Amino acid sequence: MASNKTKKREVAPAPQSGEYPIPSDMMHIWIMAKYSIINYFRSRRFYIMLAIALILGLLFSLLLWKYGTGTIGASSIGLYVGWWGSTIGTIVVLCAILFGGDAISREFQNKTGYSIIGNPIRRAPIYLGKLLGAFMVSLIVIVIYMMMVVANSIYYFGPSIPSQFWESLAFTIIYTAAALSLTFVISSLSKSGAVSIAVSAVLLLFGFGMIGLLVQVFGNVQPFFLLSYSEAILSSVFSPVQPHDPTVLQGLIIMVVYFSLCTMLGLFVFEKKGLD
């Protein structure tokens, strides 16, 4: 096989590696995101998540078709609150667990990181690229779910979509980024995919809720330190009576702080972590 290489090089000389300009960090982020998305599209969990969103959407559609709009809300706002507002937080959390729960730990456990990290690419773009990939895949699921809600709203209440929905959608996107950055940091702290997924699931599905309840009942304070507390603004934005606890601003601050701190912490851990 060696002689073939020599022969080919005589015909069409290939530049040495040093001659190729190494892409910028931003380009590396995009490359990592692109291949992460391809990998997600080939994964069972993407189709499980898509199925959950579709089944939930179909169930609500069936409910509206069978029992009329009165079951959820007599107006388009009521439909968005009763359907979108009450379920989108769970969809986001499930996306964060399934797409972020073992995104980094899997690279260590399956040794896939060995084939990437030994190349001229800094670790931060690998981490951020994978985070961006998980975010974009989550957005695909959310958009498909959103389209089912909007289609029902248009069918029953006409083409007018309340402006609060777009606000809620914007908050959902920020909440998705925050939830994913949290599961990514959990994933970067572990070398076992199963452990990091389990920790992410327990924390996001039960842990935060229980801590919040305990703090509110026994401490009589609002759990401003919990990401799940901010989730309420995804539905409260539809309410004509404002402000709510948390207010939109408070909710957004919690999300942005979680996203920033978790991303920084995750990058720090990933930078220091060895492929032992």
Partner 1 sequence: MGHSLEAVHLSKRYGSLMAVDNLNFRIDGAKCVGFLGPNGAGKTTTLKIFTSMINPSTGSTLIDGVSVQEDKKAALRSCGSLVETPEMYHSFTPMEALSMIAEIRGIPKGERVRLIRDAVFEVKMDQWMDRKIGKFSKGMKQRINIASALLSDPEIVILDEPTSGLDPRGTAEVKSLIKTLKTEGRLIFMSSHLLSEVSEVCDEVAIIDHGKLLVHDTIRNVTRRFAGKASSYLVEVEFSKPVTDTKAISRLGGVHSVNRIDQWTVQISFSGGMEVQEGLLSKLASTRMGMISFKPVSSELEDSYLNLVKDTL
Question: Which residues bind to partner 1, rule: CB under 8 A?
Answer: 1-6, 8, 12, 14-18, 20-23, 28, 31, 35, 38-39, 42-43, 110-122, 272, 274-276
Separation of alpha carbons 272 and 124, rounded Å: 11
Separation of alpha carbons 147 and 224, rounded Å: 32
Separation of alpha carbons 181 and 264, rounded Å: 9
The DSSP secondary structure of 56-82, one letter per residue, reads HHHHHHHHHHHH-GGGT-SSHHHHIII
Cβ pair 106, 193 in contact under 8 A: yes
In angstroms, what is the minimal distance from the CB of 97 to partner 1? 20
For residue 201, the one-letter residue type is A
For residue 185, the one-letter residue type is V
Cβ pair 270, 188 in contact under 8 A: yes
From the list 191, 82, 99, the residue with the least C-alpha distance to 138 is: 99
Closer CB to partner 1, 27 or 143, in the complex: 27
In angstroms, what is the minimal distance from the CB of 41 to partner 1? 8
In angstroms, what is the minimal distance from the CB of 249 to partner 1? 40
In angstroms, what is the minimal distance from the CB of 104 to partner 1? 14
Closer CB to partner 1, 18 or 240, in the complex: 18
Cβ pair 235, 168 in contact under 8 A: yes
In angstroms, what is the minimal distance from the CB of 269 to partner 1? 13
Q: At which residue do the structure tokens 């948390």 appear? A: 246
Closer CB to partner 1, 107 or 231, in the complex: 107
In angstroms, what is the minimal distance from the CB of 15 to partner 1? 7
Closer CB to partner 1, 112 or 260, in the complex: 112
Closer CB to partner 1, 19 or 66, in the complex: 19
Q: Give the distance between the most distant pair of CA atoms in the chain.
A: 78
Closer CB to partner 1, 15 or 240, in the complex: 15
Token pair recorded at residue 159: 């083409």
